[in-house]
Amino acid sequence: MHDSPVGGGRHLGVFCGSRDGNDDGVHALARELASAMVAADMGLVYGGAGIGVMGTLADAVLEAGGTAVGVVPVGLFSSEVPHGYLTELVEVPDMQARKRAMYERSDAFCALPGGFGTLEELFEAATWTQLGLHGSHKPVVLLDRNGFWSGLDEFLDRLVSDGFVRPESRGIVSRVTSVAEVLAVLDR
């Protein structure tokens, strides 16, 4: 895995809910992921918000002494309040630029539970990996909690069996059930 353009070490791009969801366990999982990332000297790249699961994750990374880089589209949405204490706040003009900046600064990706934005980002990142647009192989790991990603994982198998995804591309997106497995996938 190559060095990220930001700082020296590796960076994980995390996609996750801008809302809290109904399961406190998701926030506990976000905190667990944050601790493991900091222990592995892996920086966070994310959408820059201080709300929802995103906020929990960034807070936990910073509290553990880690690096959190937020990428925010300037003035696009009044609802998007950037996190106030990030290591680095990258301001971009629009959503496309945001995703490109997040992809460039990440060595791999992880999705925690979230909504439309989370799904959109993880699939675009996976598509770029499939097309070789990232410049290096950047896998997407779905970190599960309570089977949140099970249905999607089954559907991805269907994409292969129906002939729309090549079997060798299926592994670009994988579901794991522990934080340790997220880090293990990134070390492969």
Figure out which of the listed residues 30, 49, 62, 143 binds ligand AMP, where binding follows CB under 6 A: 49
Segment interacting with ligand AMP, rule: CB under 6 A, options 42-50, 86-94, 129-137, 149-157: 42-50
Question: Per-residue contact track with ligand AMP, 51 to 90, x per CB under 6 A?
Answer: ---x------------------------xx----------
Segment interacting with ligand AMP, rule: CB under 6 A, options 108-116, 139-147, 159-167, 179-187: 108-116
Nearer to ligand AMP, 13 or 66 (CB): 13
The pair of structure tokens assigned to 187 is 């070390």
Please calculate the CA angle 58-49-152 and round it to the nearest 5 degrees: 80
- Three-state secondary structure of 101-147: HHHHHCCEEEECCCCHHHHHHHHHHHHHHHHCCCCCCCCEEEECCCC
Figure out which of the listed residues 16, 108, 141, 183 binds ligand AMP, where binding follows CB under 6 A: 16
Q: Are 53 and 89 in contact (CB under 8 A)?
A: no
